[in-house]
Structure 1
Amino acid sequence: MAVYPYQLIKENPMQYVTMPKYNDLKNTPDNLKIITLDEFRRIIKRFPEKSNFYIPLQIAFNTGMRAAEVCGLTWDCVNLKNKTIKVQKIIIKEKREWVFGSPKTKSSYRTILIGNTLVNILKHHKKCQIENKLKYGEYYTNNNFVCTKENGKLVTTDSFKYLSRVINYELQINFCFHSLRHTHATMMLEAGANIKDIQHRLGHSKLSTTMDTYSHVTNKLTQASVDLFESIISLK
């Protein structure tokens, strides 16, 4: 599904940039740009309910979905009764148009359970979309996307660049949209969630990917387990 055209530049400015190998990037909280719950609340205060970014922010924070998965989410993949979201497609830019694409890997196709907080947010958002459709009439872009502007136009991943700039420079929070994915996983792990469940929610094909990416958390949990054992034997 195409959305609207964009102008392209003739040369790629990243052509001569050498990207570091994955192994050169340490999985520390700073590199992963993990935010705190208080920082997320500050972000939502800056981009509240009527903002174009409110719904994408809430979905990513509550599910750990990738940016392209969030923007590609359609209502037929959301079951508010069963509290699930199916990740079956993404949006990508081909030439000057936004089109549907396939998720990153086979394991990226997944069904994510969601809590009441996100369910209630999405219920209200769906109601607002219906009201906006009546408000704008023929000028409303009628589609099945979840993440839309007030006039129905799709919120794309390109717009997250502006979002990140505001959060970094205005709110002084070290942030990129992918931060929400890392934050979701980190908070769940620290709360005691099963690592296999996290792997499924994130759509990682290998458990080792999840373990390596969040080693800073798993190492802390390992120490906590040792401390727990020590507390048990000290009572004997």
Structure 2
Amino acid sequence: MGSVRKRGNTWYYTIEMAPVNGKRKRIERTATGAKTKKEAIKIMLEVEEDIKKGFNYVDNGKTSYADFLKIWMDNYVSKNLAYNSVRAYKFHIKNIIPSLGSYQLNQLSPSIIQNFIDSNIDKYSFSTIDSYLAVIKASLKYAVHPCHYIKQNPAEYITLKKKKDDTVIDKEKDFISQEKFINILNMFCKNSWQYALLMIAYNTGMRKGELLALNWSNIDLENKVIHITNNAIRVLVSEGSLKLARPKTISSIRDISFSDDLLAILKTLKKTQSIERLGFGKDYIVNDFVFKKKDGSFVNFPDVDTMVKAIKRKIGSDFHLHQLRHTHATMLVESGASLKSTMMRLGHSNVNTTIEVYAANTKTLQDESAEKFEEYINKLSAK
């Protein structure tokens, strides 16, 4: 049982904690808001109850947010999340700490966090600010439970409103016309890794990491099927600059069938690599990667970045490899493929992703919806 006492006009409570190294441990805190002894005792009893439930009253939320973010990164993020997620969190935290890091956890309030979000909305993209907010919410959730540094998450109900300019997103820019794609292909030799990578991306909708992780053992040339089992992750050059990992979701592990045209391209690529291996002899770097350079070394993210930059200069407009995935998805839906089969081919874990990102933005489907609605209205009018 604790005790209360009054100094001047302020009431304080003292609570006996568990002994540390055989020594008694007590904490004394201000009974904030208490005007009488009875009110101070009530606050003390509430605190004792919170301590029984695990709330960290020894710290009492006095740890700085910057220090706690390190605790969170070391004890949770680094141990439970994928490499790319950990790297992204570290990057976002560097931009959060200058504004919020000096606050104690118990000083962070919804208004302080909201002001931080609002003050940055015009400086960075919506997705960047959304990532900042996600890091803040997740870290402070961890501070509540299991750490019990604070009792409530001050960021829990913080919202991020899109700017007017962000409300209308032009998805058409992510679609590559056939004419534009042919112009891009004409930049490269038909037996090059660039040509093959672009064609596979265009015809399968595979992600960049899935393409770079592709091994010849993953490709069944006889049955024309690609088995996607790994995903390449961009890492620091000091760490080898390429890391293979299992995809994040089970749905990403999938089989993709391909056409005779793609079969011919793959056979040409494999033949070219055999010739290059003979040419380099013992200096050839032996591995099973599908995409590799003349000396056998695997194609890495920087190599793809260089290819993309060259394409941008050539076509005089924006281009990124993910546009080929968008294009493939759009063509699938417009050709009549079901949403379920499209979802499975693209490796989406949720069919809503397929609907929202692709199907809703295809002109063919929009036109069909308008026609069907008009037919329905005409039938009603005829009755």
**TM-score normalized by the length of structure 1:** 0.83
- Of 183, 193, 201, the match for 2:337: 193
How much does 1:64 deviate? 0.3
Structure 1 residues 207 and 225: alpha-carbon distance in aligned structure 2, compared to 1, 3 A threshold? same
Is 1:169 the counterpart of 2:313 in the alignment? yes
Match of 1:35 in 2: 176
Counterpart pick for 1:223 among 343, 356, 367 = 367
2:233 maps to 92
Residues 1-150 of structure 1: pairs in structure 2 closer than 5 A? 15-16=94-95, 18-21=124-127, 28-30=170-172, 33-95=174-236, 96=238, 97=240, 98-150=242-294
User: Does structure 1 retain, via aligned residues, the 8 Å contact 2:225–2:257?
Assistant: yes
Map of 1:152 onto structure 2: 296
Cα displacement (A) at 1:231: 6.8
Q: Quickly say closer, same or farther: Cα 1:182–1:27, change in 2 above 3 A.
A: farther
Compared CA separation, residues 190 and 151, structure 1 to 2 (3 A): same
Shift in CA distance, 14/125, structure 1 to aligned 2, threshold 3 Å: farther
Shift of 1:99: 2.2
Q: Which amino acid aligns with 1:107?
A: S
5+ unaligned residues in a row in structure 1: which ranges? Answer: 1-10
SS in 2 for 1:103: coil
Check whether the contact 2:359–2:365 (CA below 8 A) recurs between aligned residues: no
Cα distance, 1:18 vs structure 2:
4.6
SS in structure 1 at match of 2:243 = strand
SS at 1:125 equivalent: helix
Indicate the SS of the match to 1:86: strand
1:58-117 CA distance string (max 9 Å, x none): 111110000010010001110011110011002224442122112132110000111111
Contact 1:75 1:145 in 2 (8 A): yes
Q: Percent identity among equivalent residues?
A: 33
Q: How many residues align?
A: 224
- For residue 205 of structure 1, the aligned residue among 349, 367, 383 is 349
Task: Tell me the amino acid that sits aligned with residue 206 of structure 2.
Answer: M
Query: Partners of 1:13 and 1:54 in 2: how far apart?
Result: 36
Q: How far apart are 1:15 and its partner, in Å?
A: 4.7
Tell me the distance in 1 between the aligned counterparts of 2:362 and 2:310. 32
In 2, Cα distance between the equivalents of 1:73 and 1:137? 24
**Counterpart code for 1:145:** F
- In structure 2, distance between residues paired with 1:204 and 1:188: 14
Q: Per-residue CA shift, 1:201-228, capped at 9, x if unaligned?
A: 1100000011011144357414314426
Contact 2:213 2:231 in 1 (8 A): yes
Q: Measure the CA separation in 2 of the matches of 1:218 and 1:183.
A: 10
* CA apart distance, 1:46: 0.7
| Partner residue, 2:322 | 178
- Alpha-carbon shift at residue 165 of structure 1 (Å): 1.6
TM-score (normalizing by structure 2): 0.53
- Aligned partner letter, 1:63: T
The structure in which a higher percent of residues are helix is 2
